[in-house]
Amino acid sequence: MLLVDCPQCGEEENLSGHISGEPGEEVIEVSCGSCGFSWVRDRTPTCPTCSSTDLRQAARSIVEKSRGTQLSIQSIEVIYLCPVCDAADLATWNQSNTPLRPREMPVSED
């Protein structure tokens, strides 16, 4: 998940944004409701651990229980893997080219 905070005051909650620009050239302009500062959000994926922008795109499955204990893939999310920090997941992705396993499995509600 990409976190956004105001570079002026650090606000994380009271933010709003809108997309503008021609298709393929879109930008996201974010405004802070606390201090009024506006900026264009950098959409470049960044590793949350080492801040590298040299990331590889991959896919991770999202699963839910469909019947009893049976798990079914409900959707796929695009993720970005760092060759240094996510080396094991990246190696798995490169070898299989199938969606990676979810980080968390659904818990039983019993």
Q: Walk me through the domains of the chain, giving residue ranges and CATH numbers.
A: 1-43 (2.20.25), 45-110 (no CATH)
pTM above 0.85, yes or no: no
Q: Tell me the residue ranges of DSSP E strands in 42-110.
A: 56-67, 70-81
How far, CA to CA in Å, does 43 sit from each of 10, 28, 69, 90, 104?
A: 18, 8, 38, 21, 26
Handedness of CA 103, 54, 85, 98 (dihedral sign): positive
* Cα 43 → chain centroid: 11
Q: Which two tokens stand for residue 36?
A: 């009024």
How far, CA to CA in Å, does 94 sit from each of 16, 57, 62, 77?
A: 37, 11, 19, 17
From first to last of its 110 residues, the chain has per-residue pLDDT tens of 457 889 999 899 999 999 988 888 888 999 999 999 999 988 888 888 998 999 999 999 988 877 777 787 788 999 999 999 999 999 999 999 889 988 877 666 55
Give the C-alpha separation, 8 to 33, whole Å: 12
Whole-number pLDDT of residue 1: 47
